[in-house]
Structure 1
């Protein structure tokens, strides 16, 4: 199983565990509340969404990664297409961080 598949599979597990929040507005609200450990944003997000989420993550010191298409992210969590996913659990965030860094190194 390649790293991309591992990330998508872990998204499904984290979703079933109730440790993921989706959607731009809800993610921003949870970042401001200090509850978000890591943010995943799709590579086909609009420039406006990318800037808004990146600015919030930088300001509140939340790790952010760009990964997958909106359809891939949505499918992985069993929903329609999703542009922004927020990981709320530190354990899951650590594993996602490892996988995403490995994925980005190629």
Structure 2
């Protein structure tokens, strides 16, 4: 895993700053403060629409990048479609890395 974005995402996971998976992310977005939502490129249109609406309503930054297998490997899973970050500073740093690519 040479990509700085994926390396930092892995660090966020180890720090306990991520919420992974559709159901967990949906619950967390509604109950707590989320600063960044990462959606895989191969997610279903229905899931994309739901998270787009929620992120727009709550002013959460949303990224759509990588496929579900690549995102999953970064956080120690086989595959994953949705990852949310709960830490403000880590979210800002991850956005900086993403924008510098």
Counterpart position of 1:45: 43
Task: Output the CA distance in 1 between the equivalents of 2:27 and 2:96.
Answer: 25
What is the 5 A alignment of 1:86-105?
86-103=84-101
RMSD value, Cα: 1.5
What is the 5 A alignment of 1:14-29?
14-29=12-27
| Superposition deviation, residue 29 in structure 1 | 1.4
Unaligned runs of 5+ in 1: none
Counterpart position of 1:54: 52
* 1:31 lines up with 2:11 in the alignment: no
Q: Is the 8 A contact 1:65 1:100 kept in 2?
A: no
* Aligned partner of 2:9 among 7, 11, 16: 11
How many matched pairs? 101
Q: What is the CA deviation profile of residues 73-101 of structure 1, one whole-angstrom value per residue up to 9, with x for unaligned ones? A: 00001112000000110111001111222
Q: Is the 8 A contact 1:8 1:76 kept in 2?
A: yes
Q: What is the CA deviation profile of residues 26-65 of structure 1, one whole-angstrom value per residue up to 9, with x for unaligned ones? A: 1121111232110000011010111011111001110000
Counterpart secondary structure, 1:85: strand
* Aligned partner of 2:79 among 63, 76, 81: 81
Which moves more between the two structures, 93-102 or 17-26?
Answer: 93-102
